[in-house]
């Protein structure tokens, strides 16, 4: 079987262009049973002929790198505050720095290192030290409200000032920063059609709108309203592919590039001003013309009149914002994301026919699926679950055939969906879920009418009092009801996470984990001192969230379907008050409290620590991961990493976190009734819908790539 898989992988992947091959290689690497085969094929699929492998275009390389620049290849490690990195290959020059392929030694994931040189012949020693310090403090930024959101900008993992040489700086970014630029695309494939240009410009403007409108914070604690790009060009816009669609990412922001330009004053403003905003929009117009005209600026071209008008308006300050420009662009004929061809592999002279590799990968997919089923059948840990289809539609506004009229739906008051609807600032300041949906589908009239208890929900749907409902799916439904999953949630077992008394705290004493059976014994009163588990002399105090849905899951999965009311020692509190009480008990009363609350309602805080949980004979599963994919542990500084951690979608998608459960849309299995429930599922399964649900605290159906910045306005 392995030989067949190896042959198919080799044959299929080698016929794809390098960017697509890299993407597919990474995707298939998620399957444990394929990792060994893929590693054996890696040298064939990605040959590196020498230590220095320049893959940047000749136009972007001004001169052969100096020994100082290439000296990074001889270093054993680069030490940063977030990680340690080992540089492997030289990739070329871009912007004011040089790109290198590297790995994060802790996580073993590939990263990109961009090296900047503050050469003595261009900067005085004082200037170099000042710029090093400013670069390290200000190059890394995040949303001020702590959300972790990929808005198609290459955000630094960290910025490092080299204290040894005092003339080097390193910017660590994701491997995606090695993607080809638009200039490379033009060089390899030639000019783009009008519809292709519209899609590229739409994505760039969407990202710019996000940069211009959001509030950002820096490691110094400074807060800034709006951020300009400042360096937009064919070289700073990167081309990526995902599931046969393309997306463009912006890189080389002025925010960090400015420190290595002798002509720029240190700390050159990157705040949003009318002049700098227009500079960004003007650059978008230049990019559009270049994509239509190619690299020959003297070439004569004909531009579709409406597109020409948008390009002219971008360059003549007729748009007051990126959002206005994008709205005008979207009034044109809708672009086709699949219309742009992928970049060819630079090692081949001709483009292979897509039929054979597609056929090969289709067969491979069948074999991989069969292998997966066989592996799951053999595994005692395998669980039978029904997975929703993959997310494919981009935006809420793209969902068509929405029924006309007014519709109502229900859920439980103070339950999960109630909580989702209370969240603000999901995509932009002041905007909640309801506003985002109304903006994308202005003709849709949808009202949420909650009920007091879970057992009332189905009765409301069945009686046609409402069109559908949203709630956790905890048991089989009656035959006259349909349920479709739109996201996941789970209960978290939390204990105090005190930095003042970290070594005495329960996360450390418990080594960050409990078995589900131990949780059950605690809440049943069979264990009333932590000493019975870990030697700690702390008294046990028990809390559970007052969220009615959380109580139902708690009763089903922890109390073995017994009612909470029969356990007098368990106190109910709202999730936020539960978190506060747990930390107060520990710091003020020396009590080791434990609470059970929905994961969606405790994300984004650092007063309590969610324990990893295990079933009998299985490894403990930590539901929270950092942005680098690593699970948190008791040594993780959650307070300094707000927005840098989230629920691990893989743990919930396959259902191996013991207290996970799906969030579903429930609607009648009756063709005579409204189809609004089915359409709501379709809306929630768009990339934009999934991004909104994730921002509200739920776990999406899978990795949401690329994230949607804001609802499309048409």
Which of 8-17, 340-349, 501-510, 548-557 has the highest mean predicted lDDT (pLDDT)?
Answer: 548-557
CA distance 314 to 369: 49
The pLDDT-based confidence of 262 (bands split at 50, 70, 90) is: confident
pLDDT, residue 265, reads 65
Measure CA 672 to chain center. 39
Q: What is the pLDDT of residue 655?
A: 75
**Tokens standing for residue 150:** 């990929």
Q: Cβ distance 414 to 547 under 8 Å?
A: yes
pLDDT per position as a tens digit, 462-478: 999 999 999 999 888 88
Q: What one-character-per-residue DSSP string does 447-496 give?
A: EE--BSSGGGHHHHHHTTSSSEEEEE--SPPPTTEEEEEEEEEEEEEEEE
pLDDT, residue 32, reads 62
Lowest mean pLDDT among 113-127, 330-344, 491-505, 514-528: 330-344
Q: What residues are paired with 488 via a beta bridge? A: 662, 699
pLDDT(590) > 60: yes
What is the radius of gyration, based on Cα positions, of the chain? 27
pLDDT for residue 616 is more than 70: yes
Average pLDDT on 569-581 reads: 95
Residue 215: asked if its preceding bond is cis (omega within 30°), the reply is: no
- Nearest partner of 96 among 255, 205, 226, judged by Cα: 255
Burial of 118 (0-12, 13-18, 19+ CB in 10 A): buried
Confirm if 272 and 228 have CB atoms less than 8 A apart.
Answer: yes
The dihedrals phi and psi of 321, each to the nearest 5 degrees, come to -160, 165
Q: Give pLDDT, residue 386.
A: 38
HSE-CB for 336 with a 13 A CA cutoff: 7
Strand 539-545 with 591-598, pairing: parallel
pLDDT given at position 359: 41
Angle between helices 687-695 and 433-440 (to 10 degrees): 160
Distance separating alpha carbons of residues 363 and 361, to the nearest angstrom: 5
Beta strand 84-94 with 97-104 is antiparallel
Categorize the per-residue pLDDT at 501 as very low, low, confident or very high, splitting at 50, 70 and 90: low
The token pair at 245 is 């669609």
pLDDT at 569 over 70: yes
Q: Please classify residue 288 by burial: count the beta carbons closer than 10 Å to its beta carbon, then call 0-12 exposed, 13-18 middle and 19+ buried.
A: buried
What share of the chain has pLDDT > 90, as a percent? 42
For the ranges 4-8, 53-57, 109-113, 204-208, the lowest mean pLDDT is seen at: 53-57
> How would residue 388 be classed by pLDDT, with cut points 50, 70 and 90?
low
Would the pLDDT of 373 be above 80? no
The mean-pLDDT minimum among 4-18, 67-81, 131-145, 487-501 falls in 4-18
| Cross-strand bridge partners of residue 237 | 250
How far is it, in rounded angstroms, from Cα 277 to Cα 205?
A: 11
| pLDDT > 70 in the chain, percent | 78
The DSSP annotation for 209-243 comes to HHHHHSEEEETTS-EEE-------STTTEEEEEET
Rounded to whole angstroms, how far apart are CA atoms 507 and 534?
A: 11
Local confidence band at 526 (pLDDT 50, 70, 90 cut-offs): very high
Q: What is the pLDDT of residues 122-171, one digit of tens each?
A: 888 888 988 998 898 888 888 776 666 667 899 899 999 987 778 999 99
- For the chain, the average pLDDT equals 81
In what side-by-side order are the strands of the sheet with 158-161?
78-79, 84-94, 97-104, 110-117, 168-174, 158-161
Q: What is the pLDDT of residue 252?
A: 95
Cα 518–Cα 523–Cα 528 angle in degrees, nearest 5: 80
Residue 374 host element (H or E) = helix 355-378
pLDDT of 10 strictly over 90: no
Q: What is the pLDDT of residue 36?
A: 73
pLDDT digits (tens, 9 = 90+) for 35-45: 677 777 776 76
Mean pLDDT lowest among 20-24, 274-278, 526-530, 603-607: 20-24
The least confident of 15-19, 484-488, 576-580 is 15-19
- 98 DSSP assignment: E
Q: Is the pLDDT of residue 363 over 90?
A: no
What pLDDT sits at residue 607?
87
Give the CA distances from residue 120 to residues 62, 125, 581, in Å, rounded to whole numbers and listed in that order.
19, 7, 57
Which position has the higher pLDDT, 21 or 464? 464
Residue 683 C-beta-side C-alpha neighbours within 13 Å:
25
Q: What CA–CA distances, in Å, run from 13 to 26, 238, 352, 363?
A: 12, 22, 12, 13
- d(CA 402, CA 415) in angstroms, rounded, equals 27
Give the whole-angstrom CA distance, residue 172 versus residue 129: 20
Number of Cβ within a 10 Å radius of residue 151: 21
Average pLDDT over residues 393-402: 87
C-beta of residue 192 within 8 angstroms of C-beta of residue 289: no
d(CA 240, CA 20): 9
Whether residue 579 contacts residue 606, with contact meaning beta carbons closer than 8 Å, is answered with: no
Which carries the bigger pLDDT value, residue 583 or residue 59? Answer: 583
Q: Is the pLDDT of residue 27 over 70?
A: no
User: Can you give the pTM of this predicted structure?
Assistant: 0.49
- Count of residues making up the chain: 714
53-62, 258-267, 410-419, 434-443, range with the lowest pLDDT: 53-62
Q: How confident is the model at residue 30, as a pLDDT?
A: 54
CA distance 132 to 119: 12
What is the predicted pLDDT for the residue at 417?
Answer: 96
How many Cβ atoms sit within 10 Å of the Cβ of residue 675? 15
For residue 233, pLDDT over 80 is answered with yes
Report helix, strand and coil shares of the chain as percent, to nearest 5: 40, 20, 40
Distance (Å, whole) CA 111 – CA 113: 7
Question: Looking at residues 438-458, what average pLDDT do you find?
Answer: 93
Residue 53: predicted pLDDT: 37
Mean pLDDT on 288-305: 80
The enclosing H or E element of 707 equals: none
Q: In terms of pLDDT, which residue wins out, 153 or 107?
A: 153
613 within 8 A of 515, measured Cβ to Cβ: yes
Q: How far apart are CA 639 and CA 633, in angstroms?
A: 13
Please report the pLDDT score of residue 371 as a whole number: 46
Mean pLDDT of 309-314: 90
pLDDT exceeds 70 at position 103: yes
At 24 the pLDDT is 64
Reading the block at residue 272, the tokens are 């949003």
Domains contained in the chain, CATH given: 2-48+346-378 (no CATH), 182-339 (1.10.510.10), 386-514+599-714 (3.40.190.10)
Residue 415 in this model has a pLDDT that exceeds 70: yes
Least confident of 11-20, 39-48, 622-631: 11-20
What per-residue string of b and e applies to 335-348 under the rule 16 or more CB within 10 Å gives b? Answer: bebeebbbbbbeee
Question: Lowest-confidence range among 171-175, 458-462, 504-508?
Answer: 504-508
Residue 279 has pLDDT above 60, yes or no: yes
Mean pLDDT of 93-106: 93
Distance of CA 409 to the CA centre of its chain: 29
Q: What pLDDT, on the 0 to 100 scale, is given for residue 624?
A: 92
């Amino acid at each position: 079987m392995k030989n067949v898989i190896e042959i198919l992988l080799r044959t299929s992947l080698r016929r794809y262009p390098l960017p697509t091959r890299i993407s597919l290689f990474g995707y298939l690497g998620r399957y444990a049973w394929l990792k060994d085969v893929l590693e054996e094929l890696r040298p064939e699929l990605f040959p590196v002929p020498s230590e220095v492998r320049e893959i940047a275009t000749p136009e972007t390389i001004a001169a052969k790198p100096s020994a100082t620049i290439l000296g990074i290849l001889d270093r054993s490690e680069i030490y940063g505050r977030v990680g340690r990195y080992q540089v492997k290959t030289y990739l070329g020059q871009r912007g004011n720095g040089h790109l290198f392929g590297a790995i994060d030694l802790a996580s073993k994931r590939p990263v990109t290192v961009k090296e900047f040189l503050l050469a003595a012949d261009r900067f005085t020693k004082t200037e170099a030290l000042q710029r090093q310090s400013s670069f390290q403090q200000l190059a890394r930024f995040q949303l001020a409200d702590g959300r972790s959101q990929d808005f198609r900008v290459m955000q630094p993992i960290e910025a490092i000032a080299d204290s040894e040489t005092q003339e080097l700086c390193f910017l660590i970014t994701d491997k995606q920063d090695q993607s080809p630029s638009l200039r490379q695309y033009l060089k390899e494939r030639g000019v783009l059609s009008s519809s292709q240009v519209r899609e590229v410009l739409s994505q760039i403007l969407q990202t710019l709108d996000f940069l211009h409108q959001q509030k950002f914070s820096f490691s110094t604690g400074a807060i800034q309203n709006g951020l300009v790009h400042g360096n937009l060009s064919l070289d700073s816009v990167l081309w990526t592919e995902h599931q046969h669609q393309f997306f463009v990412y912006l890189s080389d922001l002025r925010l960090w590039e400015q420190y290595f330009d002798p002509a720029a004053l240190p700390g050159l403003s990157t705040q949003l001003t009318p002049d700098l905003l227009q500079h960004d929009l003007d650059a978008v117009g230049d990019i559009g013309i270049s994509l239509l005209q190619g690299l020959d600026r003297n070439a004569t071209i004909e531009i579709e009149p409406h597109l020409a008008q948008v390009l002219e308006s971008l360059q003549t300050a007729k748009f007051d914002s990126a959002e206005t420009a994008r709205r005008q662009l979207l009034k044109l004929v809708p672009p086709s994301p699949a219309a742009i061809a992928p970049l060819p592999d630079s090692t081949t002279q001709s483009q292979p026919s897509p039929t054979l590799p597609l056929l090969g990968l289709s067969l491979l997919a069948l074999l991989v699926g069969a292998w997966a089923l066989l592996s799951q059948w053999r595994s005692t840990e395998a669980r039978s679950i029904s997975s929703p289809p993959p997310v494919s539609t981009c935006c809420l506004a793209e969902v068509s055939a929405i029924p006309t009229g007014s519709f109502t739906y229900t859920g439980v008051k103070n339950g999960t969906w109630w909580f989702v609807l209370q969240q603000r600032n999901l995509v932009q300041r002041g905007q909640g879920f309801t506003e985002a949906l109304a903006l994308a589908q202005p003709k849709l009239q949808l009202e949420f009418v909650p009920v007091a208890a879970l057992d009332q929900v189905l009765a409301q749907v069945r009686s046609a009092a409402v069109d559908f409902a949203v709630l956790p799916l905890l048991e089989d439904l009656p035959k006259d009801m349909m349920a479709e999953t739109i996201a996941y949630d789970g209960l978290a077992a939390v204990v105090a996470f005190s930095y003042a008394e970290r070594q005495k705290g329960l996360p450390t004493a418990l080594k960050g984990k409990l078995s589900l059976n131990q949780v059950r014994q605690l809440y049943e009163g069979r264990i009333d001192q932590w000493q019975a588990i870990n030697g700690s002399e702390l008294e046990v105090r028990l809390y559970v969230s007052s969220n009615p849905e959380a109580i139902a899951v708690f009763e089903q999965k922890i109390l073995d379907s017994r009612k909470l009311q029969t356990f007098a020692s368990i106190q109910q509190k709202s999730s936020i008050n539960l978190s506060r009480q747990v930390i107060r008990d520990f710091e003020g009363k020396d009590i080791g409290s434990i609470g059970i609350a929905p994961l969606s309602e405790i994300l984004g805080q650092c007063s309590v620590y969610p324990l990893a949980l295990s079933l009998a004979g299985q490894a403990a599963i930590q539901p929270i991961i950092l942005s680098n994919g690593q699970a948190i542990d008791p040594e993780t500084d959650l307070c300094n990493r707000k927005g840098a951690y989230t629920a691990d979608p893989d743990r919930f998608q396959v259902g191996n976190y013991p207290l996970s459960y799906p969030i579903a849309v429930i609607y009648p299995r009756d063709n005579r009734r409204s189809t609004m429930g089915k359409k709501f599922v379709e809306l929630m399964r768009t990339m934009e819908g999934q991004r909104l649900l994730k921002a509200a605290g739920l776990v999406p159906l899978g990795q949401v790539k690329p994230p949607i910045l804001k609802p499309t306005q048409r």
